[in-house]
Amino acid sequence: KMPRKFIVGGNWKCNGDRASIKALIQALNAGESTIGSGVDVVVAPPMLYGDYARGLLRSDFGVAFQNCWVGGNGAFTGEVSADMIKDAGFDWVILGHSERRSLPEIKETDETVATKTAYALEAGLKVMLCIGETLDARQSGKTDEVNARQLAAVAEKVSDWSNIVIAYEPAWAIGTGVVATPEQAQETHTQIRKWLAENISPQVAQQMRIMYGGSANAANADSLARQPDIDGFLVGGASLRPEFLRIVESWK
Ligand code: PEP
């Protein structure tokens, strides 16, 4: 784990308004500086509040968007391109979140997520690539198969993985209060790294930061962070509270 810098993301989803975002950022800014420390911290406000949040946040926090269009600018009403995100001064985009994969109004396919990932990288963004299985898939022993399928779709379109971090987020743990045990998460992270070693390269496998996401909070972060293949967290619910800072500290 030593050569991999810990990374913690806060996914605010479709939550907040100017007042609550300001209050949350004031609490985050009051925390310890992470400059020169062993952790990267990136928060993902709702798209509309990106500039507002960037203007208020301390400079050592990164800002991510929660989605982008599959390609460049054009006649795609309602969409925001990776080029715009980059041009507006942001470095990160979260892609393939399980809500975007599973909500019936969205239903992003593995292929769409892969296309977005390839284009966002080309546009100069760093990508938090979310993968993970449903409860059904876990119960029928298909966890590794699902993760491999989601990664293989990306591997079809991407050859340079250096600006990708993977967020392993079992859908059954997202927003449910049911967190994966440290053993379950470690086991799956090991399998993901093994897949990378066999299908991309041993070097990519060794260097890839694999974050865990799914009901991570201040109480369970330390035991998860101690696992050798868990390199950070992607946090939903708890990232809307000052408790997020305690999760950031789990890198220590
Ligand atoms: C997420 O949406 O990325 C997530 C992990 O949510 P939560 O922490 O609320 O389970």
Tell me the CA–centroid distance for residue 179 and ligand 1, in Å. Answer: 10
Q: Which atom of ligand 1 has the smallest separation from the CA of 98?
A: 2
* Structure tokens, 61: 């926090």
The string of pLDDT tens digits covering residues 11-20 is 999 999 999 9
Residue spans of beta strands (DSSP E) within 33-145: 39-44, 61-65, 92-95, 126-131
Give yes or no for residue 125 CB within 6 A of ligand 1: no
* DSSP letter (8 states) at residue 4: S
Average pLDDT over residues 169-192: 98
* DSSP letter (8 states) at residue 131: E
Average pLDDT over residues 228-252: 97
Question: How high is the pLDDT of residue 2?
Answer: 58
Does residue 178 surpass a pLDDT of 80? yes
* DSSP letter (8 states) at residue 156: T
Give yes or no for residue 9 CB within 6 A of ligand 1: no
Question: How high is the pLDDT of residue 232?
Answer: 98
Tell me the CA–centroid distance for residue 169 and ligand 1, in Å. Answer: 8
C-alpha radius of gyration, the chain, whole number? 17
How far apart are alpha carbons 162 and 200 in whole angstroms?
Answer: 11
Q: Are 195 and 147 in contact (CB under 8 A)?
A: yes
Q: What is the mean pLDDT of the chain?
A: 97
Ramachandran area for residue 80 (φ above 0: left; ψ -120 to 50: alpha; else beta): beta
The string of pLDDT tens digits covering residues 126-162 is 999 999 999 999 999 999 999 999 999 999 999 999 9
**Fold for domain 6-251?**
TIM Barrel (3.20.20)
Residues marked as catalytic = 97, 169
Domain ranges of the chain: 6-251
Q: How confident is the model at residue 3 (pLDDT cuts 50, 70, 90)?
A: confident
Pocket test for ligand 1, best of 174, 176, 178, 250 (most atoms within 8 A of CB): 174
Give yes or no for residue 174 CB within 6 A of ligand 1: yes
Does residue 189 surpass a pLDDT of 70? yes
Q: How confident is the model at residue 35 (pLDDT cuts 50, 70, 90)?
A: very high
How far apart are alpha carbons 94 and 92 in whole angstroms?
Answer: 7
Model ipTM value? 0.97
Tell me the CA–centroid distance for residue 78 and ligand 1, in Å. Answer: 25
- 27 residue type, one letter: A
The string of pLDDT tens digits covering residues 71-123 is 999 999 999 999 999 999 999 999 999 999 999 999 999 999 999 999 999 99
- Percentage with pLDDT > 70 across the chain: 99
Q: Which residues, in sequence order, are CB contacts of 208 under 8 Å at separation 6+?
A: 4, 161, 164, 165, 166, 193, 196
User: CA torsion 46→51→52→55, rounded to 10°?
Assistant: 130
Average pLDDT over residues 43-64: 98
Closest residue by CA, ligand 1 atom 7: 236
Question: How high is the pLDDT of residue 14?
Answer: 98
Helix (H) or strand (E) holding 152: helix 143-155
Does residue 1 surpass a pLDDT of 80? no
* Structure tokens, 209: 């930061």
Give yes or no for residue 213 CB within 6 A of ligand 1: yes
Question: How high is the pLDDT of residue 166?
Answer: 99
Tell me the CA–centroid distance for residue 224 and ligand 1, in Å. Answer: 15
* Closest CA relative to residue 147, chosen from 133, 160, 158: 133
Q: Which atom of ligand 1 has the smallest separation from the CA of 130?
A: 3
